[in-house]
Amino acid sequence: MCYYICGVDMKRVRIAYIIFVLYLIILLLSASRGLYFKVDIARINIDMSQKGDTKPVVVEIAYNNFFKTECSLDNTNWKDAEFGRCSYELPEGNYTVYVKNALNETSKEFNLSINEIRSFDINITKWFLAPEETLKILNKMEYVGLPDLSLIYTSDDESVATVDSNGVITGVGNGTTKIHVKPIGFDEKVVEITTTDIIRAPELDDTKPVVKCEQYTAEEAALLDEILATRVEQRGVGTRAALLEVTRFMTLNLKVKIPYFYEHGRMKPYWKNARKVDGEGRWYHKGLYLSKDKYDLISPENVKEKKAMWGCPLTNYDDSDGWAVGAKKPNGLDCSGFVSFSLYNSGQDPGDIGAGMDPELISMDDFGEKHTLTYEFANSDNYKVGDMIGRNGHVALISGKDDENLYISESLLKGVRTVTYSYKNKNSKLYTNYEYIGNLDNRYVADGDYTDMW
């Protein structure tokens, strides 16, 4: 076979070519080692999304390299990388990570310092305010380390409601807006605020007018129901805080006073041969009795006189306290009617029962853990706002307490209202008008977010 073409030895050319290619490969391996074989740590990802209070965080070491690579945290114990990454579960501390392939090795120091908000929530998502009424947003935040816990509060429409740097919302004018609460580096929470002048900011005022018959339209009555139901829901159905929202709404936020009315009977008859009557001096249903659509809740057989919402006239059949038998009086609530209404609308279910202390009858004084009202007990820490207070034949609820006074919500001849009694003064009428305090701790599902005063 001829290996010469035009005098050229092709075998030698081929050998020279192979040597040249090998030389280039060696040259490239030396000169381009960093490009093809050098292992570089591209990034260190710290994933705390699955971290519990004690579980280490996941640290992911990502690198730039095309060849089989190993990782180590001590340059002794190595683990194979998978898909360009090595992962470790680590607690806080200072570390050096080592990454190598067959031809190269590199290392990088990093500090694992956990400063992160883990969860964030607020205590309300929706609320109704009167103009000038305020509401403070409470927040619950879980975090590790020392993250920035600052919160940024903003209002979409300050003509409806404003919010200050402490999270206090103030109603301004009628309308609906959103309040945003944003932690640094965490998702925001939003509160829907509606400001409406159908209610007022809470105020002790015994001069407000008695509700008139059919004073509210069906839409206005429905709005009042929604306001009350929203407050209960946001505070927690069945909680002490929910009960306080009901009593304060009825006596402080409503612009009108619900009248007192001697009952014609109850949903649950309470003496032999007593007639079962619904809605006449009592109201054991959800919402306020201020619109005709509530008449559908009353069965015809449970009507003694007629269906009449609060403020509409009914005949008085009781001769107590100077009330003339046969006189027309505006329908409203008697004392236990107000208490049972308040408890029921807050999520309790005591039954449509009365205020007597007859050992043979179930009454309101049986609902809680009863304590004799003495000066010592009233000045102790053995009761709270939201507890019951009463005497034989009368029952009420404690809606507020400060350093001097108890604020008691009740229905008596002057109507449904909150009255003030000193518990610091031994000669206070508190100790002559009431005989016991009923602790309701065992009735509430929880205390909830409440304050001693509004």
Q: Is residue 242 part of a domain?
A: yes
CATH number at residue 170: 2.60.40.1080
Residue 382 and residue 274 share a domain? yes
Predicted confidence band of residue 162 (pLDDT cuts 50, 70, 90) = very high
Model pLDDT for residues 109-125, shown as the tens digit of each residue: 887 777 788 899 999 99
Tell me what pLDDT residue 32 has.
46
Q: Is residue 205 part of a domain?
A: no
Across 171-192, average pLDDT:
96
Q: What residues are paired with 9 via a beta bridge?
A: 4
* HEC letters along 154-208: EECCCCCEEECCCCEEEECCCEEEEEEEEECCCCCEEEEEEECCCCCCCCCCCCC
Residue 76 and residue 144 share a domain? no
Tell me 399's DSSP state: E
Phi/psi-derived region of residue 62, left when phi > 0, alpha when psi is between -120 and 50, beta in every other case = beta
Residue 131 and residue 71 share a domain? no
Cα–Cα distance, 259 to 450 (Å, whole number): 27
Q: What residues are paired with 420 via a beta bridge?
A: 407
Residue 382 and residue 247 share a domain? yes
What are the structure tokens assigned to 152, written together?
A: 């940024």
For residues 354 and 385, the model is more confident at: 385
- The letter for the amino acid at 23 is Y
For residues 128 and 9, the model is more confident at: 128
Q: Is residue 453 part of a domain?
A: no
Q: Is residue 146 part of a domain?
A: yes
Residue 15 and residue 87 share a domain? no
Tell me what pLDDT residue 304 has.
94
Q: Is residue 445 part of a domain?
A: no
Tell me what percent of the residues of the chain surpass a pLDDT of 70.
Answer: 88
Using alpha carbons only, what angle is made at residue 214 by residues 211 and 220, rounded to the nearest 5 degrees?
Answer: 85
Tell me what pLDDT residue 361 has.
74
Residue 296 and residue 429 share a domain? yes
| Of the candidates 369, 341, 203, 197, the residue with the CA atom closest to the CA atom of residue 282 | 341
Pick the last residue of a domain from 83, 113, 143.
113
Report the number of distinct structural domains present in the chain: 4
Predicted confidence band of residue 66 (pLDDT cuts 50, 70, 90) = low
Tell me what pLDDT residue 190 has.
98
Residue 51's alpha-carbon distances to 59, 117, 147, 184, in angstroms, are 11, 12, 16, 19
Across 288-297, average pLDDT:
98
Across 7-29, average pLDDT:
68
| Of the candidates 197, 193, 191, 202, the residue with the CA atom closest to the CA atom of residue 174 | 197
Phi/psi-derived region of residue 377, left when phi > 0, alpha when psi is between -120 and 50, beta in every other case = alpha
**341: Cβ–Cβ under 8 A, 6 or more apart, which residues?**
246, 282, 283, 284, 333
Cα–Cα distance, 243 to 220 (Å, whole number): 23
Cα–Cα distance, 299 to 128 (Å, whole number): 33
Which region among 48-62, 121-135, 285-299 has the lowest average model confidence (pLDDT)?
Answer: 48-62
Tell me what pLDDT residue 112 has.
77
Model pLDDT for residues 316-343, shown as the tens digit of each residue: 998 877 788 999 999 999 999 999 999 9
Predicted confidence band of residue 102 (pLDDT cuts 50, 70, 90) = confident
Model pLDDT for residues 241-284, shown as the tens digit of each residue: 999 999 999 999 999 999 999 999 888 766 666 778 999 999 99
For residues 70 and 114, the model is more confident at: 70
Q: Say what the pTM is.
A: 0.78
Give the distance from CA 398 to its chain's centroid: 23
Tell me what pLDDT residue 56 has.
58
Tell me what the pLDDT averaged over the chain comes to: 88
Residue 402 and residue 331 share a domain? yes
Model pLDDT for residues 127-154, shown as the tens digit of each residue: 999 999 999 999 999 887 778 899 999 9
Tell me what pLDDT residue 271 has.
66
Tell me 84's DSSP state: T
Residue 57 and residue 76 share a domain? yes
3-state secondary structure of 278: coil
CB-based contact 259:332 (threshold 8 Å): yes
Residue 287 and residue 300 share a domain? yes
Tell me what pLDDT residue 26 has.
58
Residue 423 and residue 356 share a domain? yes
Predicted confidence band of residue 412 (pLDDT cuts 50, 70, 90) = very high
CB-based contact 281:261 (threshold 8 Å): yes
Predicted confidence band of residue 6 (pLDDT cuts 50, 70, 90) = low
Q: Is residue 190 part of a domain?
A: yes
Cα–Cα distance, 73 to 235 (Å, whole number): 51
CB-based contact 87:60 (threshold 8 Å): yes
CB-based contact 189:181 (threshold 8 Å): yes
> Dmax of the chain from CA atoms?
143
Q: Which domain holds residue 126?
A: 117-197
Cα–Cα distance, 344 to 238 (Å, whole number): 9
Residue 33 has pLDDT above 50, yes or no: no
Predicted confidence band of residue 49 (pLDDT cuts 50, 70, 90) = low
Residue 288 has pLDDT above 80, yes or no: yes
Tell me what pLDDT residue 118 has.
83
* Long-range contacts of 304-310, Cβ-Cβ distance < 8 Å, separation of 24 or more: 304/264, 304/265, 304/275, 304/277, 304/280, 305/264, 305/280, 307/279, 308/213, 308/279, 308/280, 309/213, 309/214, 310/211, 310/258, 310/259, 310/283
Side-chain-side CA neighbours of residue 390 (13 Å): 29
Model pLDDT for residues 417-449, shown as the tens digit of each residue: 999 999 999 999 999 999 999 999 999 999 999
Q: Is residue 213 part of a domain?
A: no
CATH number at residue 263: 3.90.1720.10
Cα–Cα distance, 89 to 112 (Å, whole number): 11
Predicted confidence band of residue 104 (pLDDT cuts 50, 70, 90) = confident
Q: Is residue 449 part of a domain?
A: no
Residue 332 and residue 415 share a domain? yes
Model pLDDT for residues 340-351, shown as the tens digit of each residue: 999 999 999 998
For residues 356 and 176, the model is more confident at: 176
Residue 158 and residue 107 share a domain? no
Q: In what order do the strands lie in the sheet with 57-64?
A: 40-47, 57-64, 85-90
